[in-house]
């Protein structure tokens, strides 16, 4: 088996047709919330095979890999490990074996690695992709419960990948000195999808009974959510109704404010969101200002705008720049500021000029454009490395060819 593995992972002979698969390693579940990874990799799957490898699930079942094809064509890979397997050394050894099984079962020969989590280095750093990308969408080490080894593994990942993409401008500014090829790709938009909210007329059943004015939020409700701000504003304005959509994770539901004018509707599917948005009067970015939100670039900012909804946000850096500076989004941090901004928006009788500015801004961004730019950069890396990969190895790693890559 060892000889076969070396042939599989180290051969310098390209497969027939030169088809390149993409193998992604993610800390997120494919079916959790439809966000940046789903937008990008679904577009990638139009042209090549994409394998989305999730973190393992521990249970009393036997060790195995579940592979299924999502509607987008992405192959979702879920490792199942025995409940009693808790040693990091043992887990990484098993993950190496399961990764080898995945490559052999699906005849993965020429491949690009796409990392969302540095933790995957522990079982992939011996492999030889034709190109490797770190799509750094968040500062994961600042999140609640983040493993202590994340910063060190990220430094190692920087040394091994060819390209680093960041999920926002502030994250780019923090990472650009750590790698020679760092590119900012802030949150983008599927404008036609969220634009449906401008014409939708059917209010979802669980929202239809909620009186107006409605101020809404959708997204993951975790340590980044500004519980205190919501609590204070809802208490001060009992005549306003707050619609909160999304799963609650890493915080206890009992810690969320409980007022009769706050309506928690749970998680919704991506294709349902425009219908909910259509019934809101104001859309909210209720993010606390702490270490976990320092570098975030919320995808919901352009999504709210594409829906034609006025937006209030706390002073998240990547919302202030450019949305706040362009007067597309109201920026507030206190309950009184929030109430003043909401009153102004709710009393506005003509938002046509603002909407024209919104549409002019959104014309320049899309997930299609973002993926096209990313794909071009990856193709450039592959072409630059190709001469080194097609020569006999003679004891030299294919990574030696990457030394000549410059931005």
Domain boundaries defined on the chain:
2-188+367-404, 191-362
Q: CA–CA separation, 130 vs 83, rounded Å?
A: 35
Q: Residue 11 has what pLDDT? A: 32
Q: Residue 388 has what pLDDT? A: 53
- 119, burial (CB in 10 Å: exposed 0-12, middle 13-18, buried 19+): buried
The three-state (H, E, C) secondary structure of 360-394, written as one string: HHHCCCCHHHHHHHHHHHHHHHHHHHHHHHHCCCC
Instruction: Fold for 191-362, please state it.
Output: Rossmann fold (3.40.50)
Taking Cα atoms as reference points, which of 97, 75, 67, 64 lies closest to residue 24? 75
Q: Mapping DSSP to helix (H, G, I), strand (E, B) and coil, where does residue 36 land?
A: helix
Terminal C-alpha separation, the chain: 39
Per-residue pLDDT of 140-179, as tens digits, reads 877 777 677 888 999 999 999 999 999 999 999 999 999 9
Helix (H) or strand (E) holding 331: strand 330-331
What's 2-188+367-404's CATH class?
alpha beta
Q: Would you say the CATH fold of 191-362 matches that of 2-188+367-404? A: yes
Sequence-separated contacts (24+) of 272-276 with Cβ below 8 Å: 272/204, 273/194, 273/218, 273/245, 273/303, 274/193, 274/194, 274/195, 274/196, 274/197, 274/200, 274/307, 275/196, 275/197, 275/200, 275/202, 275/203, 275/204, 276/204, 276/207, 276/216, 276/218, 276/243, 276/245
Q: Residue 402 has what pLDDT? A: 35
CA 184 from centroid of its chain's CA atoms: 14
- Contact call for residues 139 and 174 (beta carbons, < 8 A): yes
pLDDT (tens place) for every residue of the chain, 407 residues total = 333 333 333 333 333 324 799 999 999 999 999 999 999 999 999 999 999 999 999 988 778 999 999 999 999 999 999 887 878 888 899 999 999 999 999 999 999 999 999 999 999 989 999 999 999 998 887 777 767 788 899 999 999 999 999 999 999 999 999 999 999 999 899 999 999 999 998 999 999 999 999 999 999 999 999 999 999 999 999 999 999 999 999 899 999 999 999 999 999 999 999 999 999 999 999 999 988 899 999 999 999 999 999 999 999 999 999 999 999 999 999 999 999 999 999 999 999 999 999 999 999 999 999 999 999 999 999 999 876 554 443 333 333 333 333 33
Q: Residue 22 has what pLDDT? A: 98
Q: CA–CA separation, 30 vs 68, rounded Å?
A: 11
Of the CA atoms within 13 Å of residue 399, those in its CB half-sphere come to 12
């Amino acid at each position: 088996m060892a000889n076969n593995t070396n042939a599989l992972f180290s051969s310098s002979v390209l497969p027939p047709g030169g088809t390149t698969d993409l193998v992604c390693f993610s800390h997120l579940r494919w079916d959790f919330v439809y966000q940046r990874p789903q937008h990008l990799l679904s577009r990638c799957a139009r042209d090549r095979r994409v394998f989305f490898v999730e973190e393992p699930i521990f249970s009393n079942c036997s060790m195995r890999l579940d592979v299924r094809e999502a509607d987008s064509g992405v192959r979702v890979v879920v490792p199942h490990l025995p409940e009693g397997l808790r040693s990091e050394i043992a887990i990484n050894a098993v993950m190496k074996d399961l990764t080898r099984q995945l490559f052999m079962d699906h005849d993965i020969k020429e491949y690009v690695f796409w990392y969302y989590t540095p933790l995957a280095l522990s079982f992939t750093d011996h492999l030889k992709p034709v190109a490797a990308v770190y799509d750094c969408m968040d500062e994961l080490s600042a999140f609640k419960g983040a493993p202590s080894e994340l910063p060190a593994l990220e430094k190692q990942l920087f040394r091994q990948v060819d390209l680093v993409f960041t999920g926002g401008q502030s994250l780019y500014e923090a990472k650009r000195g750590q790698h020679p090829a760092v590119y900012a790709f802030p949150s983008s938009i599927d404008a036609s999808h969220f634009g449906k909210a401008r014409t939708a007329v059917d209010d979802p059943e669980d929202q239809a009974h909620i009186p107006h004015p409605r101020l809404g939020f959708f997204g993951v409700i975790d340590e980044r959510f500004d519980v205190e701000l919501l609590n204070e504003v809802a208490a001060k304005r009992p005549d306003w109704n707050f619609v909160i959509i999304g799963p609650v994770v890493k915080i206890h539901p009992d810690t969320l404010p409980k007022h009769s004018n706050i309506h928690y509707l749970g998680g919704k599917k991506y294709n349902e969101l425009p219908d909910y948005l259509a019934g809101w009067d104001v859309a909210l970015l209720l993010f606390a200002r702490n270490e976990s939100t320092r570098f975030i670039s919320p995808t919901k900012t352009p999504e709210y705008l594409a829906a034609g909804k006025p937006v209030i946000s706390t002073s998240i850096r990547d919302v202030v720049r450019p949305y706040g500076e362009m007067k597309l989004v109201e920026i507030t941090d206190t309950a009184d500021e929030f109430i003043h901004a909401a009153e102004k928006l709710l009393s506005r009788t003509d938002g046509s000029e603002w909407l024209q500015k919104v549409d002019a801004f959104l014309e320049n961004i899309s997930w299609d454009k973002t993926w096209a730019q990313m794909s071009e950069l990856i193709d450039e890396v592959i072409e630059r490395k190709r001469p080194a990969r097609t020569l006999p190895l003679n004891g030299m790693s294919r990574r030696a060819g990457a030394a000549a890559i410059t931005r």
